[in-house]
Amino acid sequence: MKNLLTTCLAILLLFACKKEPKEEPNPCCGETPVKADFGMMNGTSLTLRFVGFYPDVAFAREFITFKAIPEDPEATYTWYLGSEVITGSTFQRDFSPTKTTGENNIPITMVIRKAPNKECFPNDEGYDSITKTITLVDDYCDYLTNGDFKVLFTGAADSSIVRVRNWDVMYPGYFTINCLQRRPTPVGFDGANKTDTIWSSNGSDGAEQFYSRMIFPQRSSTIDAIFNGSFTVNPNNYDVSAHYQIFRRDGTHDAYKFKGRKIN
């Protein structure tokens, strides 16, 4: 019995002292091969400064900003737009002359060059390119963010219809259609104050409207104005989502979220 206890104790000590082999970190974890990609967005560098960069798929015939995704300080970028050759990770061009020429579906190519990580990607040549098409629309009523949307507000039992129109609004219930002005008018966005029946609207207080997204400013002092949020239409399947706040006369604000689909 004594020998058996001694043997068992020795085995326990052996396993207790045995160390698991230390797993060395993977040096290629998080590394990626050289890959070209970029986004396009209506606006200038000033727009990006105050709104942010939200790549889109179609654009008004105005300034468009082109930006590498991601911007790598160790890479060099070359762009080919028509006869132009442009360098740098980002630039902007004015497409308002196409209002006269009618030019559309313009190809643009970006080439990225960077010293490759041969240890992780032995076949990487340190070079990649991508070509995309600049699709232009003639007026803001052609935006996906203009139309009718069937949505369900968070916490609501039934769905409802919200609308976005490009109007010149004189006062609630009186408006004129203006597809050449980027003045989006949200209708029915206030879950506590339904306004669809009289085609009244909520102010957007300087909202930035793009083809598939509206960005509401961070702050607002306008009563019943929408602010601090966004409204997005997925260009692939027309699903919509939104989150924003509405300022009230008593100094409070309500927060809203909804999801749904574009129906018109």
Using pLDDT thresholds of 50, 70 and 90, give the confidence band for residue 135: very high
169 lies in some domain: yes
In a domain, 10, yes or no: no
164 Cα distance to chain centroid: 19
Whether residue 165 is found in the same domain as residue 194: yes
pLDDT score of 197: 35
Domain for residue 114, yes or no?
yes
From 31, 119, 130, 121, select the one nearest 74 (Cα to Cα).
31
Same domain (yes/no): 235, 246:
yes
User: To which H or E segment does residue 8 belong?
Assistant: helix 2-17
Given a cut of 70, is residue 164 above it in pLDDT? yes
Number of domains in the chain: 2
pLDDT at residue 71 tops 60: yes
Paired with 230 in beta bridges are 215, 243
pLDDT value of residue 30? 83
Q: What is the pTM of this model?
A: 0.82
> Does 20 have pLDDT greater than 70?
no
CB contact burial 140-153 (16+ within 10 A = b; e otherwise):
beebbbbbebebeb
pLDDT of residue 99: 96
Q: What are the pLDDT digits (tens) for 98-131?
A: 999 999 999 999 999 999 999 999 999 999 999 9
pLDDT, residue 192, reads 67
Specify the pLDDT at position 221: 63
158, 256: one domain = yes
pLDDT-derived band of residue 167, with 50, 70 and 90 as boundaries?
Answer: confident
| Domain limit, last residue, from 138, 158, 193 | 138
In a 3-state reduction of DSSP, which class is residue 252?
A: coil
